[in-house]
Amino acid sequence: MTQSNAAFLTKLGWRLISKPTSLWSRVVRSKYCHGLCDVDMFKASSNCSNLWKGIVANAPFVMQGSQVAVGNGQTTLFWNHKWATNHPLIEFWAGNGIASEYLPLSALKQIQAHEVSYQNDLSDALFWNAGPNGNFSIKSSLSIIRNDSHSNPDPHWGLVWSAVAQNRGRFFIWLAMHNRLLCNENRMKRHLTDDSSCGLCNHETESILHMLRDCEHAKVIWNKVCHQRIKQDFFGCNDPKEWIANHAQCPRASNPDSWAITFPLTLWWIWKWRNQSLFIYGANIPLDEVAFIKDKVAETCNALCNERLQAISSIQQQQIYIQWKPPCYGWVALNTDGAAKGCPGAAGAGGILRDHRGICISFFFANLHTCTAIKAELLALKHGLEIAWSKNIQQVDVRLDSKACMQILERDNDYQGPNMQIIKLCKQIILRLEWIVTLTHCYRESNKAADWLSNHGISHDSRLEIDTVPP
């Protein structure tokens, strides 16, 4: 509960700086921040409200999750804002001297990958870097508060949601592994009963493991369902979480797919029949429980088999021949590509302009120092568009082999992320009235020239080199 409250207070702090024109933000900032709107404006005062105290206490999470996308650079503080790396550059400070003496080489290369725009309308923007799409979410805020990035996730939980079972069965397994099923032991802890013994076999304590496996009624079913080779170690584990995880992930029968279905189904029906026997008078429980489970397993196997066959039959393979095709008469084809040897890593950009005869008009390659692959793709597009504009080309057919870039460029202006300013600039260039620009996705095999130029840019020292004679 404390972490949830901190996440919602972090949300309020984020709203203050991400929506500065809203009435609530203006009122609060005028009272406590003297009208300032920045990540370092959160300061407590002696007569502040409990709400403001909570926002200030969780301000470090706001600063940790936010980042600046540099546009014209007018409102970004070089040292104190987080814009080039995952930390403010002042945290790298280690002494006196010029930047190259106390900033690590990796940070310098990421700084060199940034380009400041000289357009006044392309202002700096704040986005939530902790989320996948640049927008704030309680989930990403909780991830920061819990420091999930430095913790090793438990691999057992992935088995729960990949189990071959209905959603109710998966949720049931999740409850069992969390020790949340209402066996008599847990019911007694919650003061729902004063008797923790098993209602079926009168065992002293009905724990989750006893209820699902060790009860005499459950053992009868498991002894008939389990393969002979695993009966010896099947009842040995005393941790319900480990026991469920071990038997859910390992093939334990002659047909592994059948066991993957049998195990969760058997757990579910043991639980259901136990509840019906104890709480429902005259419950309709099958006489041959094992045969009933086997019928359910066969039914599920047939359903999955038919689903797989339908999925396979719906896939139609088609053989196509891929090659670069010249544009229509009067048009110029612009192929661009970006490459990065890591995420982020050493990056380069390249592109080539060719007319309807396939003759090279111009080409370029650039060393982008250190950035991500998606940023390299976008910077390559920006350089290519600027070169095409400088040559007074009227009709340009832009060809990209990155579907991610295509999807981002085809969106409305709702994208929030580290590359949002590059995307805005590319869209501004594309929408100029003096020319016509089309965007087309192409296969990588037809974009080999631009791909070679982008990889050549990684090993080259020039920030941007433009020529008309291909190397």
**What pLDDT sits at residue 458?**
92
Q: Which CATH class is domain 332-467?
A: alpha beta
Give the Cα separation of 136 and 134 in Å (integer): 7
Domain limits, CATH 3.30.420.10, in the chain:
332-467
Query: What residue has token string 């469920």?
Result: 244
pLDDT band, residue 379 (cuts 50/70/90): very high
**What pLDDT sits at residue 383?**
94
Name the least confident of 13-17, 163-167, 212-216.
163-167
Q: pLDDT, tens digit, for every residue of 315-362?
A: 666 777 888 999 999 999 999 999 999 888 999 999 999 999 999 999
Is 96's pLDDT higher than 50?
no
Give me the mean pLDDT over the 83-107 stretch.
71
Is 161's pLDDT higher than 90?
no
Q: Return the percentage of the chain with pLDDT > 70, whole number.
A: 89
Is 79's pLDDT higher than 50?
yes
Contacts of 148 (CB under 8 A, 6+ apart): 142
Structure tokens of 115? Answer: 């380009």
Describe the crossing of helices 256-279 and 216-225 by its angle, rounded to 10 degrees: 160
Q: pLDDT, tens digit, for every residue of 289-301?
A: 889 988 988 888 8
Least Cα distance to 55 among 12, 23, 24, 20 occurs for 12
Coarse DSSP helix, strand, coil percentages of the chain, rounded to the nearest 5 percent = 50, 10, 40
Contact indicator for 200, 278 with CB cutoff of 8 Å: yes
- Write out the E strands in 200-343: 332-342
The sign one gets for the Cα dihedral 221, 222, 227, 232 is: negative
Give the Cα separation of 404 and 441 in Å (integer): 10
Per-residue DSSP letter, 43: -
* DSSP code per residue over 228-254: GGGHHHHTT---HHHHHHHHHHS--SS
> Between the CA of residue 287 and those of 198, 212, 256, what are the distances in Å?
21, 19, 27
**What pLDDT sits at residue 75?**
83
Least Cα distance to 288 among 273, 303, 298 occurs for 273
pLDDT band, residue 97 (cuts 50/70/90): very low
Q: Which helix (H) or strand (E) holds 362?
A: strand 360-371
Contacts of 248 (CB under 8 A, 6+ apart): 159, 160, 163, 173, 260, 263, 264
Give me the mean pLDDT over the 48-60 stretch.
89
Contacts of 471 (CB under 8 A, 6+ apart): 456
The sign one gets for the Cα dihedral 163, 164, 167, 171 is: negative
- Write out the E strands in 292-343: 332-342
